[in-house]
Amino acid sequence: MTPDSSSELPSTVTAPLIGRARFAPGDIVRHRMFDFRGVVFDIDPVFANSDEWYEAIPEDIRPAKEQPYYHLLAENGDSAYIAYVSQQNLVADGDGGPIDHPQIDAMFEGLDHGRYRVRAIHRH
């Protein structure tokens, strides 16, 4: 057999299907169940936090790990913070106005048609 013979090709490997990210850095979102909003600043294609964090979520509302997870500059009526949220728990909220978070100006240049423009220094 020659090195380019089709019989020497590796067998097909089936990878788990991972949903595509619905949101991008700069998108404004809100949580489906809890009263907070945020702006996406990073995305993990699948869960990438600690097992302790994941297991602290009540089992009856614990989201699947095999979906995109979003890092948000988040706010609620009381405070601003960083949130880590599964895709299934987010909905678009660009029409809800700006996010009041102290780190917005460090990562974004301003609000344009319901989404923040990522500063050039933070683009990959």
Query: What string of DSSP letters covers 59-98?
Result: GGGPPPSSS-EEEEEEE-SS-EEEEEEEGGGEEE-GGG--
pLDDT of residue 66 exceeding 80, the answer is yes
Could you report how far apart the first and last alpha carbons of the chain are, in Å?
44
Q: Tell me, what's the pLDDT at 120?
A: 85
Whole-number mean pLDDT of the chain?
Answer: 88
C-alpha angle 69/82/29, rounded to 5°? Answer: 60
Q: Strand 108-112 vs strand 90-92: parallel, antiparallel, or unpaired?
A: unpaired
Tens digit of each residue's pLDDT (9 = 90 or more) over 36-57:
999 999 999 999 999 999 999 9
For the domain spanning 21-122, the CATH number is 2.30.30.390
Rounded mean pLDDT, 59-64: 96
Identify the residue with better confidence: 122 or 103.
103
